[in-house]
Each structure stands twice: as C-alpha cells, then as structure tokens.
Structure 1
Amino acid sequence: MEVKLHDIGEGMTEATVLNYLVKKGDHVKADQPLVEVQTDKMVAEIPAPAAGIIQDILVPEGETISVGTTILTLETKSSPLAETPSSQPNVATESTRPFAIKEEETVSVKRTIKRRVLASPYTRKIARKHGVDLEQVVGTGPGGRITDDDVYRFIETNNTKQTNHSSIAGSDVEAQSFEKVGDNSQSSSIIPFHGRRKQIAKKMAQSLYTIPHCTHFEEVDVTELIRFREELKQQNFHISATAFFIKALSLALKQFPIFNSKLDEEREVIHLKQEHHIGIAVDTKEGLIVPVVKHVECKSLREIHEEAKHLTKKAQENKLTLQEMTGSTFTISNVGPLGGSIGATPIINYPEVALMAFHKTKKRPVVMENDEIAVRSIMNISMSFDHRVADGATAVAFTNYFVRLIENPKLMLMELV
C-alpha cells in the first residue's frame, strides 16, 4: 500500500518532509503517525491508513514534494507478505524456536526494540534543533508524553557534560559548523533553508511577482485611542490597540469592499467578500505565521481582543490548527510593539488585495487646528494594495476613513448602531 502526501488544507500543492517517526520494518497500527511534513502554514503528521509493516521509505528528510507523491510503502496485515513468519521478527513457533536462547541473542533483541515516543510536532522540532534523542527523555505528560519542558530539562541536565567535552572537541565542532565558500579560504555558517522558512519565501515571491504592489503611507494620531483605552481599563475592560485596529478596518472595509476582495484573472472578475476574516501576522521562532480572526464584522471589540490574544499565543506555541490559519481576506502586521520601524513596504498576503502595517508610536509636537502646539502620540501606517484592483485615490480614501475612526475611537460606537 502506498502512503502518499494528500491535500492537508486548501490551496496546498506541496510540503517538505521533516521527520520520520518510523523506520523500515516497523510494525504500525492504523492511524499511527508515520511522518511529519511542513506545509506553508503548519506542521502536520501523516498517519498510517491501515495496520501493517513499513516496507520502504521513498523520500528523504528535507525534500520538498508535491501532493500525490508516494512517501513510503506499507505492507498491510491483510497481504500475504505481512502474514508470513519471515515478516514477523521475534515471534517464535514450535518449529522455528530453539529450546534455549543465547544471552547475546537476548541482548540483541532488546536493543532492536524501540519504544514509541509520544510528543507533539513542535516538541520534536525542539529536540531536533538541539540534537536531543527523544528516546532518552523521560516524559512527564499524560501517558508518558514528552513535553517541551521535558526536552529543555534534558538539555539543561546535559549542559555540564557538553561543557566538559567542548574543550577537547571544540576544534572538531567548529570545523563541522562551518563550510568553506569559494577559493579564498574564508568560512561562513550554514542555515538550512527548508520547512516554514522555505514556504514563506515561496509565498512572498509568488505575491511580489504576481501583484503590482503600491504602498500608501499615513500618520495616525492615537492620543485619543490611548485615553479611551485607559478609561475602559478603569471600568475593568482591557482591550488591546490591535482589537481597535481590526474593528476600525472592518468598518472601513464595509465602506470600501474592494479591499476585501479576490481577483480572478481567468474569469476576469473581482469577488467582493462579505465576510471580514482578518489575518494577524505573528513573529515566531519558526518564522512568520498568520492566524485568522473570522467574521470580525459580527464581533465586538472584547470578542476580537480575546480571540486575537488566544490565536497569537497558539501561533507562538506552534499549536494552531489549519482552520485557524486559512481563509483570511485582509491581513494586518503590528510591528510597533517590536520597538522599531517608522515605515515599510509590506508584501501582500496573496491572494488578498491589501495589507496594512502599524508602526511604532512616538510622541511628537503637533500643530493643532487652532495653531497651538501640543504633544501627541503619532503612529505611522503603511498600506500595500494590489494596483490591478484598486487605485491610489481609493487607497487614500480608505486609509482616511480608518484614520478618522482611530483618531476618534468613540465614533465606532456610532458605526455599530
């Protein structure tokens, strides 16, 4: 039986084989995880379609394959090969089993038996990154499952041993960590280019080469928003600035639905989406990932705040489901809290039409309408849009509407009536 890479989620065309959880000759049960693969959105496990024996592994780890490619072959129990005694090692019969087993044979059999390691894909990735053999780690989770903390505890315990060996093997490790480049005898470190990093690169290139990007920059006075949030905190309502941004964007998208659309070039039509599914770009250790807050147009500020907070946490822990990462119609990137950037030219999350980035907020002297100078909190925004679908004047009108709501946050209440 062939075990193939199937379509794990919408729009998926390929994936990278990360790690095999079995080896050739292993007996597996139905639905037992066989291999981990990395799509452009998540790490997923391919389970066994039936019980049987791993016959052959066809794709090496680290290779990117397309949907439909056979990853490995499985000899199922219903087949003649799986039922023959030769395919069932360590099973004795009266005709084949000797009356006594030599001690060295017993030791050999014990060494070939490997326990089934229970661990999440993210825990396995931590172990691989630090060169930890999970079979040596004691799991403290339910059913002996190995947790992230178990791996880090194992690493910390072995730090002393590694330090003792480092002085002896330091030169060897250094030689293995670097590779000579060209003929000038200079060295450079190597970073593997696969998994999520490679998928991000492919998607960014697809977006940039497909969409004629145009970026509009604007300033937003968030002084009143900061005051309003403080008022809400005094009433025990904790709402993030991101939640206000998302809600204001949803209200703006109602007025300018062209930025909540999808271009179908083959049919020569633009689909205007009624639902506002806002993607939130989140920076993680494994790279950029975009969880999605669904149906923002129907949710309150508190609901948006709670859901965005929950999804961001899951993204940073690499625990998002496919449902939580697909279907976005507009994406935001809030880089302000990272402490840098006064502007950028963000790349659109293809096949969406626009993306808005929020940058660092700074206090600046501002000339008010009465010509008085006041210190205000000013934030820059960058909005990239698909120039095939919308023009600059429309983008300016859209951002102006958004700015109006953020600079006068209580106006949102009127929009919600």
Structure 2
Amino acid sequence: MDIKAPDLGVDSAEVSEIMVEVGDVIEKDDNIILLESDKASVEVPSSAAGKVTKISVAVGDQVSEGMVLIEVDSDADSGADDESDDSSKNEQKQPEADTENSKSTEVAATNNDKAEQTKDKSDTSEPEEGTGRATTHALPDLGVEEAQVAEIMVSVGDTVSAEQSILLIESDKASVEVPAPIAGKVEKILVEAGDMVANGQDFIVIIGEDETSSTSETQGSRTEAVSAKADSEAGSSEQQASAKKQSTAAPKQSAQETGASAASKSGGKLTESQVNEKLVDVYAGPAVRKLARQMGVDITQVSGSALNDRILKEDVFAHVKESLSKQKAAPTNSAGAQASLPNLPDMSNIEIWGETETQDLSRLQKVSIPQLNYNTLLPQVTQFDLSDITETEKLRGELKGGMKAEGIGFTILAFVVKATAHALTQHPRFNSHLSDDNTQIIVRKSVNMGIAVATDDGLIVPVIKNVQDKGLKQIAIEIGELAGKARDKKLGTKDLQGASFTISSQGNLGGTAFTPLVNWPQVGILGVSEASRQPRWNETKQTFEPRLMLPLSLSYDHRVINGADAAVFTRYIATLLADPRRILL
C-alpha cells in the first residue's frame, strides 16, 4: 500500500527527517516523515498500519501533495499472502524456493487486482457528461501568516465566475479580496466570518462548469508519472540514507575547522556556500537558517528544543536574547551602554508612579515591531539638505487647477517621487540591497517607490511600481489611490510588496527635519518636512529675497553607502526639485 503526502498547505516542502526504516512495523497515525517549508514543519502520519517495504523519498527531496512517501504491507495483505502460501504448500507441496516464486506471483496478481479495482473505482466516480465535479480549493498566499475573514460575499448554491471576489480577508496590514479560483456552483463554504485563516487553508468547495473526464485522465497520467519517478528514485534511496548516516557520523569539528579556515582566508566573512558547508550537521530548516543569517547568529551555537534537537525560530530568538543579556561593556574609563533594556519596574505602587492605564497596541503596530527591530542592526546615518522649490511650486500652482478638474490631487509629493526616482537611476547603489553574506549588493533595475502613509492604526507603506517610467500625472493619480486604499484598509498584498526605496513625507504636520528609519532590506529612505519661506542671498541682485525651501533628510545604511555619496545624492535630488526640467535632459 502506498502512503502518500497529504495536503501540506504549501506547493512543496523539503524532507527533513525520515522516521522509519525498511522492515519497521508501524501503526496507523505513527509519524513517518518530517517535512519542512519556509513557513512550518509538519510530521506526516501513516494512513495505514503494516510493515515498511520501501521508502520512496530521501532527506532533502522536495515533495508535494499526492507524492508516494513509503510503501507498506498492510495486515490484510499479509494475511492474504500467508493464506496463499499455505494453500500452495498443501496442494502442490513444492520446495521452499518454489513457494517463494508462487508468493511473488500471488503478490503481483494482487497488485494487478488492486489496480483494476482502483481503475473501476475511478471510472465509477467520473461525473456524467455535461456535469462538473466538486473540488476543494485552498486560499492563495495572503502575504501574512494569518488573517481574519471579514466578509463572505457568496452563499451556498450561488453560481460564480472565475476571478469573482468571494471572500474579504483582513490582516494587520490590509484587506484582501480573494477571487474564485474557477467558475462554477458553490457547494460548500468551509470558513465563517470572524475565522482566522492561513495560507493554503481549504476555504470553499466549487462544482466546476467545464470539468470533463479528460481532467481525471490527466490526473491519472500525472499520478502514474509521479509513481514512476518515485520507483526510479527508490533504488537509490537506501544508498542516499546510508550516505547521510555516514555524513552525520563524521565529527562536527572537521566541518567547523573547514568553515574557520575559509573565514580566515576571506577576512572573517563566509560566503553562503561556505556557510552551508559549515552547517551540514545542523538540524534546522531553510527558513530558520535564513533567519539566523539575517540576525548574524552562528547557528552551530544554537540549541534546538524540538524533536531530535531540531532548531526552531524560537530557539534563534532565545539565543539572541541570551547573548544580549550576557554581553557586558568593555572596561573603559566611561560606562558603556547597556546591550538590552531591562524589564519595566513594578508600577503598581500608585504613591510612586501615580495612576496608570494599560492600552493594547493596534495589530498594525504589533506586526511593525519585528521589522523595526531590524533597524537596530543597521549602522544608519542621516544627511540633511534644503531644496529651493520656489519655481517648482509656481509650476504646480499652474497645473493643479486642471488636475483638480479631473479629480486628481496634485501635491509637491508627486515632484519629490519623480525626482527621487530619476536620481536613483543615476545613482543605482541607493536602489540596491546588501546580500546575506555581506559580500555583494543586489542592484534593482526598476524603481519601486514605497510611500509612507499615516492611518488611524499606524504607518503603512504602499508601493508604486516602475516609477522611473511614469509621468507626474500618473504618479499623482497612484499616490491618491494608494493613500485612499490605505486609509480604507483596502490595500492588497501586491500593493505592499517589492519596494526598493522609501519616501516618508510629513507634509504640513510641521517640523524642520527628522531622522527616518531605513526600512530593511532597503539601504535608504528620504524624509520630507514642511516647506517654509526663508531669506536666501541672490548673487545677481546682491540682495536677500524670500524663497520656498523644502527640508530633505536622507537616512542610509552606512555598510553600503558612504557619507560623500550620500551628500552628492541628496544634493542631486535638491537640484532636480529646484528645476524639474533637468529630468528631461
């Protein structure tokens, strides 16, 4: 009997551990395989009891729903085989060798019978011509780990078209309308308003309109192809398992010495391939390894808390917390800063602290905290400058009347976005990301501009894609649309992803300058404060005159950007804003 992978909630997952061996006798629901994806680890239970006769996957393989994991001889099959053997012995009384041949023949016949039964069952389950088949569909990637069902837009019995909105999902970041995956009739809705749902969760059953028998034939061919692939790979599975055991038995010290030698040659930094070589004996999934690299943690020093000492994300966080608590300032003449903040004092004594009130953070604020914590790891510097936007403001005043008639809000921010996008194409280092191993930068070919928008729940950053190819009018339109969606909680996941640089404008909120925080993995962010009239010296007229000056604050990751480049870049943006015609040159 084939034991297949169930619905994993993701397209594919990696085999992290095989918990059984050929010859083991297992019970139903015994865990047989540990699968790990970027989102979770799943222990796959056996759907039947019996003796393990074949393992069709190896550690490191990528598996998906329906793929054969192991094969077992069930109790029923074993009994049938024994009965067949006894019958053969009693009637023919052949030698032991002949009995074995007879048993093999019986098993083959049994398998053929099972195949015929499966085929008959499949033929029986085929829908009648002109009718559809009920199919269960899972939620797409929501962009967050979980979200709440805010509204169900259809009812059982409704006929829906493909891409018709059927669910409204609301997360801490945005509201997302989930479209129907196919056209057909709603047979069952598997979620309710108020439920918390996750990526890949089954949410609706739809009877498709255009389902035919060819669909089943295609699926049958696909199943046969998967089985054939599993059979072809099964021959080498035992060899792979043996090789893995030998690799695991090798001392960890040799791997660590190899990594240390490579580090010494490269000045203390390991490339990603060297890191992988060093960590062959670490029991952790790809998501955990990536987190450790991002936080600068040597994962070989982290203790795992899961089964077989497997390392979880919580273990990495606990290791970082413990390391910070143990750090002490070096003995110098002046007192060093604390590595981490102590716990709050007990504020229950009203005589000392007065009356207090506890208020919950908004969901948006809660999910923003981990992202903001990344900024504490960045060596950030801020460059300040002023741009004379007197003439640009006159141009905006001439154009805004026509824009307003078309329902378009035309603010100075549109000019700032366009000028910054052009500057990023001329200074691409600011439109890049630092690689995980800190040896390269990944330069973006397009400018996807994040625009910080203040909402009642907190700050949110929707993204305008390919700004370098858009004019002022189109930019103004998209700024208005995204700002409206943000305030109405109607932003989709695509609206919040992919930014290469961010602009944070305080508009008319006041203030002369501020220090915006770089939004990792970006390397720069431009802050814009309120413009004000200031006296400036006119060399030609030899007199002071009032000019409208716009404060700019550029924060940058000093690992990628040096101070001289930051000063040149900020001055270039100020020059473009003073005379936008330069963009046309």
TM-score tier (shorter): 0.5 to 0.7
Indicate yes or no: 2:495 matched with 1:363: no
Structure-2 residue corresponding to 1:139: none
Q: What residue identity is the alignment partner of 1:352? A: Q
1:220 aligns with 2:390: no
Structure 2 residue aligned with 1:307, among 478, 497, 504? Answer: 478
Match of 1:51 in 2: 188
Correspondent of 2:520 among 350, 354, 373: 350
Identify if the C-alpha distance between structure 1 residues 47 and 375 changes in structure 2 by more than 3 Å, giving closer, same or farther: closer
- Aligned counterparts of 1:329 and 1:74: Cα–Cα separation in 2: 34
Determine if contact 2:461/2:496 at 8 Å carries over to the other structure.
yes
Question: 2:176 touches 2:492 (CA, 8 Å); kept in 1?
Answer: no
Match of 1:376 in 2: 547
| Paired amino acid for 1:334 | S
Residue 348 of structure 1 aligns to a residue in which SS?
coil
Quick one: which of 325, 349, 353 aligns to 1:183? Answer: 349
Partner of 1:99: none
* Paired position in structure 2 for 1:100: none
Residue in structure 2 matched with residue 326 of structure 1 by the alignment:
497
Aligned to 1:205: 373
Asked if the contact 2:452/2:460 (under 8 Å) is kept, the reply is yes
User: Contact (CA 8 Å) 1:28, 1:53: kept in 2 or not?
Assistant: no
What whole-Å deviation, never above 9, does each CA across 1:184-204 have from its counterpart, x for those lacking one? 274323321251110122211
Q: Partner of 2:533: helix, strand, or coil?
A: strand
1:383 match: secondary structure: strand
- The separation in 1 between residues aligned to 2:547 and 2:464, in whole angstroms, is 31
1:196-226 CA-partner distances (Å, limit 9, x unpaired):
11012221112x1232111101111111111
- Distance in 2 (alpha carbons) for counterparts of 1:289 and 1:323: 13
Number of aligned positions between the proteins:
295
Q: 2:141 — aligned with what?
A: 8
Is 2:393 the counterpart of 1:260? no
Q: Would the alpha carbon gap of residues 399 and 29 (structure 1) be closer, same or farther in structure 2, given more than 3 Å must change?
A: farther
**Larger mean Cα displacement after TM superposition, 213-222 or 267-276:** 267-276
- In the TM superposition, 1:238-249 aligns within 5 A as 239-249=410-420
Aligned to 2:462: 291
Q: Is the 8 A contact 1:29 1:48 kept in 2?
A: no
Bigger Cα Rg = 2
Contact 1:18 1:195 in 2 (8 A): no
Is contact 1:35-1:47 (8 Å) kept? no
Q: Distance in 1 between matches of 2:371 and 2:350?
A: 35
Q: Answer yes or no: is the 8 Å Cα contact 1:331–1:354 preserved in 2.
A: yes
Quick check: 2:149–2:195 contact (8 Å CA) kept in 1?
no
Structure 2 distance, partners of 1:66, 1:399, is 42
In structure 1, the residue corresponding to 2:575 is in which secondary structure? Answer: helix
- Name the SS of the counterpart of 1:390 in structure 2: coil
Do the aligned partners of 1:29 and 1:52 also contact (CA within 8 Å) in 2?
no
2-structure distance, mates of 1:409, 1:212: 32
Note closer, same or farther for the CA distance 1:310–1:183 as it changes in structure 2 (3 Å cut): same
Aligned residue identity for 1:379? L
Q: Could you tell me how far apart the structure 1 residues matched to 2:198 and 2:439 are?
A: 28
Structure 2: gaps of 5 or more residues: 1-5, 10-38, 40-138, 182-186, 206-345
Q: Is the 8 A contact 2:142 2:199 kept in 1?
A: no
After superposition, give the CA deviation of every residue in 1:105-156 in whole Å (9 maximum; x if it has no partner): xxxxxxxxxxxxxxxxxxxxxxxxxxxxxxxxxxxxxxxxxxxxxxxxxxxx
Supply the AA of the counterpart residue of 2:397.
E
What amino acid is the match of 1:319?
K
Distance 2:553 2:203 in 1: 52
Q: What is the 5 A alignment of 1:87-166?
A: none
Any residues of structure 2 matched to 1:55-94 within 5 Å, and which?
A: none
**Which amino acid is 1:244 matched to?**
F
Whichever residue aligns with residue 358 of structure 2, its letter is I
TM-score (norm 2): 0.44
Question: What SS does the aligned partner of 2:529 have?
Answer: strand
Q: 1:143 corresponds to which residue? A: none
Distance 1:291 1:234 in 2: 27
Indicate how the Cα distance of structure 1 residues 3 and 317 shifts in structure 2: closer, same or farther if over 3 A, else same: farther
Contact 2:532 2:548 (C-alpha < 8 Å) held by counterparts:
yes
Normalised TM-score (structure 1) = 0.60
RMSD: 4.0
CA distance in 1, matches of 2:190, 2:485: 35
- What is the CA–CA distance in structure 1 between the aligned matches of 2:381 and 2:175, rounded to whole Å? 33
Q: For 1:330 and 1:52, locate their aligned partners in 2 and report how far apart those are by CA, in whole Å.
A: 41
Q: CA deviation at 1:21?
A: 7.6
Letter in 2 for 1:264: S
Structure 2: distance between partners of 1:51 and 1:60: 16
Deviation of residue 336 (structure 1)?
A: 2.1
Q: Identity over aligned residues, as a percent?
A: 29
Instruction: Give SS of 2:571's match.
Output: helix
Q: Name the CA distance, whole Å, in 1 between partners of 2:385 and 2:190.
A: 61
CA spacing shift, 1:354–1:310, aligned 2, 3 Å: same
Distance in 1 of aligned mates of 2:547 and 2:505: 20
Taking the aligned partners of 2:453 and 2:191, their CA distance within structure 1 comes to 38
Higher relative contact order (CA 8 A, sep 6+): 1
Name the structure 1 match of 2:171. 38
Match of 1:397 among 542, 565, 568: 568
> CA shift at 1:397, angstroms?
0.8
Partner amino acid, structure 2, of 1:8:
D
CA gap of 1:75–1:276, structure 2 versus 1, over 3 A, is closer
Deviation, 1:248, is: 0.5
The answer (yes or no) to whether the contact 1:363–1:375 under 8 Å persists in 2 is yes
Say which is worse superposed, 343-352 or 275-284, in terms of deviation: 343-352
